[in-house]
Amino acid sequence: MRTSSAGGEQVILDTLPKNFLARVEQYGDKKTAMRKKEYGIWREHTWADSHRRVKAFCLGLVGLGLERGDKVCIIGDNDPEFYWAELAVQSAGGTTIGIFTDSIPKEIEYIVNHSDAVFVVAHDQEQCDKLLEIRDQVPDVKHVIYWEERGLWGYDDPWLMAFEEVEALGHEYEGDHPGLFEELVAQGSGDDVAIYSYTSGTTGLPKGAMIAHRNFVGYMLNMMEVDEYPDTDDYLSFSPLAWITEQAMGLTGHVIHGTVVDFIESPETISQNIREIAPHSLLFSSRLWESLVSQVQMRISDTSLINRFLYRIFMPIGYKVADMRFEEHRVNFLWRLLYALGDMALFKPLRDQLGLSRIRFAYTSGAALSLDAVRFFRAIGVNLRNLYGSTEGIVHTFHRDDDLKFTSVGKPPPGMEIKIAENGEILVKGPSIFLGYYKDPEKTAKTIRDGWFHTGDAGYIDEDGHLIYLDRVEDLLALAGGGRFSPQYIEGRLKFSPYIRDVMAIGGADKAYVTTIIIIDFDNVGRWAEKQGIAYTTLVDLSQKPQVYDLIRADVERVNQTLPPPARVRKFALLHKEFDPDEAELTRTRKLRRGFMEDRYQQMIEAMYSDDEAVRVQAEVKYRDGRMGVVETAVRIFTLEGITTI
């Protein structure tokens, strides 16, 4: 395939090393390939520089005994050497395995042995020490090769080799084998395994997902049907390269599109470095995005009066425009004008402070990012996109600029197919689906059937073709009529409301529909009630006001719109008290103790599955003057219209 770029026409080939050589031929010394900040200075490497390093390291490994089909583990932070080592191994026909830097020696031992690795490339002294600790347990490893020598000067062990030492061997080997590097790359095939990406192992030992070169190339061709990736773009490589998504967006995008890859000096300097770079695209975990939101909110509280005033005035406008883009897919002239004013006064300076002044694509993947964080970045003009994918299939769906929904994980790119199995499981088919699990044909056969990858995730496709992710299939609860629902999904979506503090969703094989027990946020609902002129005394009193039930009903109906009909909430009750860890209702990390809670609130639950309109309870109350008392009150059971039983 051919595609145009600022550097001329690009040819997309079937392996990563072939694409790398195509970019080298295209750019040579004329264009920066990557830059890394070291000792306060941004050090640049051209494509010709990268070519020299990859070629020398590849031939050095071959001289040390690396053969086609061999495996090499790499453990280290994001650095140019990680890219060079990976491309060098793949150029020789080998397979690389990224290992997370915080892995303990026992975890490293398992992956090295399970993958049959013959070399390990390590970043620094810390990683080398881990490998020396398990040296006797990894007998197939010929050498550990490190690229940062600080702290290793006093080590006298031939098992350890410096990155430059291997490159020097490569230069010598090239003299005796001219043209070998190019021959090795040409022998590569799209069906060759590029990497093993090990799963997290939350349900057992980690599994090595075999990802072929054609999987990465196929993923990128799919994404290019939707978006353009100019070779003038800067990409910040920060998420671990042991993670499949960083491999796909970072290294694959680099060798196919010719984007400049930037590496920060250290995690401690990321805020400063990202502002200096002002990348066009980056991938952060949900934790990092949420940390940025907290950082902004903290700084705003400490800033000048005028800045706090601008924030209070224009952030609601930003949120309104973001909501209009998500819900209506258009913004009228008045709101565009107001947003333009806000952009000049607040949003643009804020993006600049965050290092996002040039951002075109900001991605989040892995754990779900809260809707509040997504709305915040969209409000200030950051094109933040949720990616839904897996180790086994890279990216399955994502949000697009002109087709957005807060509650979904987007649509599949062209070339990917999504369907929902009878049990609610999400099935995926497309060119990025992996080859299978290394040494586990039985698990592979269960996971890939008739060309469809069985994700183990539950969801459904809404009327607009968006995929709604619910939960893991194993965590869904069945209802009496055969339908299934995710209690965590319902609880999580309802808790995005500022008026709801806690929720317990209820259902089961003996229940025909879903109900919820909801705890209101006393402070926020109290302020709302005061603005509405609604008098109240205690949480018990406030929670049972008809107006409060109407307020919460709107949130329940909003969440119901994101659910398939069998999983929609039919009834809810507003509890007269908060869930309390001291009463064993919650764990100390505020997770629900469901079994205990269902026993404790059995009378209320039975009322919600009958024709009762209320249930009488006794409640301990604390009055504003500090006095304590016990009252008997009726907790109302609210039935939503239009929600039928299964």
Average pLDDT, whole number, for the chain?
A: 90
| Residue 10 in this model has a pLDDT that exceeds 70 | no
- b/e code 352-369 from CB counts within 10 Å (16+ = b): eebbbeebebbbbbeeeb
Could you give the count of Cα atoms lying within 13 Å of 49 in the half-sphere of its Cβ?
A: 14
Q: What angle do CA 69, 70, 76 make, to 5 degrees?
A: 130
- Band of pLDDT at residue 471, cut at 50, 70 and 90: confident
Q: Which pLDDT belongs to residue 254? A: 97
- Spatial separation of the C-alpha atoms in residues 284 and 293, rounded to whole Å: 13
| Residue 109 in this model has a pLDDT that exceeds 60 | yes
DSSP H helices, 270-328, are 270-277, 286-302, 305-327
pLDDT digits (tens, 9 = 90+) for 316-362: 999 999 888 877 778 899 999 999 999 999 999 999 999 999 999 89
Structure-block tokens of residue 15: 């392996």
- Spatial separation of the C-alpha atoms in residues 393 and 378, rounded to whole Å: 27
- Band of pLDDT at residue 400, cut at 50, 70 and 90: confident
Mean pLDDT, residues 562-569? 86
| Residue 4 in this model has a pLDDT that exceeds 50 | no
Report helix, strand or coil for 390. Answer: strand
pLDDT digits (tens, 9 = 90+) for 233-278: 999 999 999 999 999 999 999 999 999 999 999 988 998 999 999 9
Q: Which pLDDT belongs to residue 545? A: 94
Name, of 151-155, 189-193, 286-290, 503-507, the range with top average pLDDT.
Answer: 189-193
- Band of pLDDT at residue 7, cut at 50, 70 and 90: very low
| Residue 202 in this model has a pLDDT that exceeds 60 | no
Mean pLDDT, residues 515-540? 91
- Spatial separation of the C-alpha atoms in residues 377 and 284, rounded to whole Å: 13
- Band of pLDDT at residue 85, cut at 50, 70 and 90: very high
Q: Which pLDDT belongs to residue 414? A: 92
- Spatial separation of the C-alpha atoms in residues 470 and 456, rounded to whole Å: 11
Strand-strand pairing, 234-236 and 614-622? unpaired
User: Could you tell me which of 177, 174, 211, 220 has the C-alpha nearest to residue 51?
Assistant: 174
- Spatial separation of the C-alpha atoms in residues 237 and 249, rounded to whole Å: 9
Q: What is the largest CA-CA distance in the chain?
A: 92
Report helix, strand or coil for 590. Answer: coil
Task: List own/partner pairs for 4-8 with CB under 8 A and 24 or more apart.
Answer: 5/230, 5/231, 5/257, 5/258, 6/230, 6/231, 6/232, 7/31, 7/231, 7/258
Structure-block tokens of residue 111: 């992956």
| Residue 589 in this model has a pLDDT that exceeds 70 | no
Residue partners of 480: CB distance under 8 A and separation at least 6:
508, 509, 510, 511, 512, 646
Q: Which domains does the chain have, with CATH numbers?
A: 13-232 (3.40.50.12780), 268-473 (3.40.50.12780), 478-639 (3.30.300.30)
pLDDT digits (tens, 9 = 90+) for 279-327: 999 999 877 887 888 788 778 877 889 999 999 999 999 999 988 887 7
Residue 8: phi and psi, rounded to 5, are 115, -170
- Spatial separation of the C-alpha atoms in residues 120 and 133, rounded to whole Å: 14
Strand-strand pairing, 452-461 and 484-485? unpaired
pLDDT digits (tens, 9 = 90+) for 613-641: 999 887 565 555 666 666 678 899 999 98
Q: Which pLDDT belongs to residue 439? A: 97
